[in-house]
Structure 1
Amino acid sequence: MAPSFSIKLRGTEREQLLQIARQSIRNGLYGGDALEVALHELTDALTARLGVFVTLMQQDNLRGCIGSMQSNEPLAQSVAESAHGAAFRDPRFPQLAEHELDQVCIEISILSPMEPLTSPDRSDLLATLRPDVDGLLLQDQHYQSTFLPKVWEQLPDPEEFLNHLLMKAGLPTDHWSTTIQFFRYHTVSFQEGKDLGDRVWVVT
């Protein structure tokens, strides 16, 4: 079972994280580093140490995605670093240009703790996966890759999901070994342009 864990995020806190992400990207456009967040102004929820990914979408197309599975930084600072990385350090894309800033939509995904999966073989792993729910982290010696739960939208079949995760790590689709490890997690995600309201979201 995954470790017991929960964090409550209000609409105002989610909006603050989105503003931090956008300001951090704006800093980078003018030659600066990621935004240094004033931690003394934050609520307890925004200083929690959690894994987080920031995704940039441009007209429904991926424009960058960077994050960390775990972090020793406060959540708000991790968001600032990840947003800056998604805009300027994702090796799949050129650096974000100034004219693109108003064209991108920012999405933040906060990760639950990792749950190790002790699957003895590929078939057992596939039977364990929960489409549309599980994010999956693969590790095998120096190989590593992950898919957030939202990737199920493009790869709804567990077999296809796993094959692409292996390829992302630089491994053949039929790879299996005694050292391979899988961890699942789930996320709470929110994005610009959506009504965040005052409802409290709980990451568990």
Structure 2
Amino acid sequence: MNLTDEEKIELLRIARNSITSTVNGEGLPEVEPKTENLKTPCGAFVTITINDSLRGCIGYVEPVKSLAETVNEVAAKSALEDPRFPPVEPYELDKIEIEISVLSPLTRVKSVDEIKVGENGIMIKRGWRRGLLLPQVAIEHNLTREEFLEHTCLKAGLPPDCWKDKETEIYIFTAIVFKESDFKQKTGEGV
């Protein structure tokens, strides 16, 4: 999938409206996808940061809803339901930065050599446990392929070297990643 700048801006608006509405106790807003891309079922994650520090990140790996509906739902969940953080408070709304990662379908790898650090995200699955790290995590933390695999195992609640076990399933995906500040810099105004 290729997204136009207009579609990216629309998704960022959807995420911002969802977060603002739900944090203020108004419930999840309705969305009407305007383009075929936004109507297409697709996995996506919404990441919320304040001053470059993670404040929430939740998403759907599988394409269970339209891209617009997915972003609408996971934006609210990122703000209110990420178990690692307290819910976003209304006073924080002006401080948050929203980043969206639109995921390609998952592909199971036969060899870890197929993983391109910085280009691929990873999902590790073993039994009922699974962990996922987005492609940008490896870049942000300057991780090697092995470190990226280890961190993904830990995210799944598994030993860091579980990726070496043949019982562990490893999947890769790519993502279209964009955030509000990408467009503020280009247009000089907010999304």
Q: TM-score higher than 0.5 here?
A: yes
Q: What is the match of residue 182 of structure 1?
A: 170
Give the conservation status (yes or no) of the 8 Å contact 1:149–1:186: yes
Alignment map for 1:110-129 (pairs within 5 Å): 110-119=102-111, 125=112, 127-129=113-115
Secondary structure at 1:20 match in 2: helix
Q: State the secondary structure of the residue aligned to 1:26.
A: helix
CA distance in 2, matches of 1:18, 1:33: 18
Q: Which runs of 5+ in 1 are unaligned?
A: 1-6, 120-124, 198-204
Question: Is 2:4 the partner of 1:10?
Answer: yes
Matches within 5 A, 1:120-199: 125=112, 127-153=113-139, 154-175=141-162, 176-195=164-183
Determine the structure 1 residue equivalent to 2:92. Answer: 100
Post-superposition shift, 1:155? 4.2
1:170 and 1:35 mapped to 2: Cα distance? 34
Contact kept? 2:12, 2:180, Cα under 8 Å: yes
- The CA deviation at 1:15 is 0.7
State the Cα deviation string for residues 151-185 of structure 1 (Å, max 9, x = none): 11214211211111111111112324443111100
Q: Quote the residue 1:122 is aligned against.
A: none
Q: Is the 8 A contact 2:32 2:68 kept in 1?
A: no
Q: State whether residues 17 and 76 of structure 1, in contact with CA within 8 Å, keep that contact through their aligned partners in structure 2.
A: yes
* 2:31 equivalent among 30, 33, 37: 37
In 2, Cα distance between equivalents of 1:155 and 1:60 = 16
Report how far residue 116 of structure 1 moved: 0.9
- TM-score w.r.t. the length of structure 1 is 0.85
Q: How many residues align?
A: 184
CA deviation string 1:15-54 (max 9, x = no partner): 1110110100111122133222124xx1111111111000
Structure 2: runs of 5+ lacking an equivalent: 187-191
Percentage of identical aligned residues = 35
Higher relative contact order (CA 8 A, sep 6+): 1
Task: Say whether the 8 Å CA contact 1:55–1:106 is kept in structure 2.
Answer: yes
- State whether residues 66 and 85 of structure 1, in contact with CA within 8 Å, keep that contact through their aligned partners in structure 2: yes
Provide the alpha-carbon RMSD of the alignment. Answer: 1.7
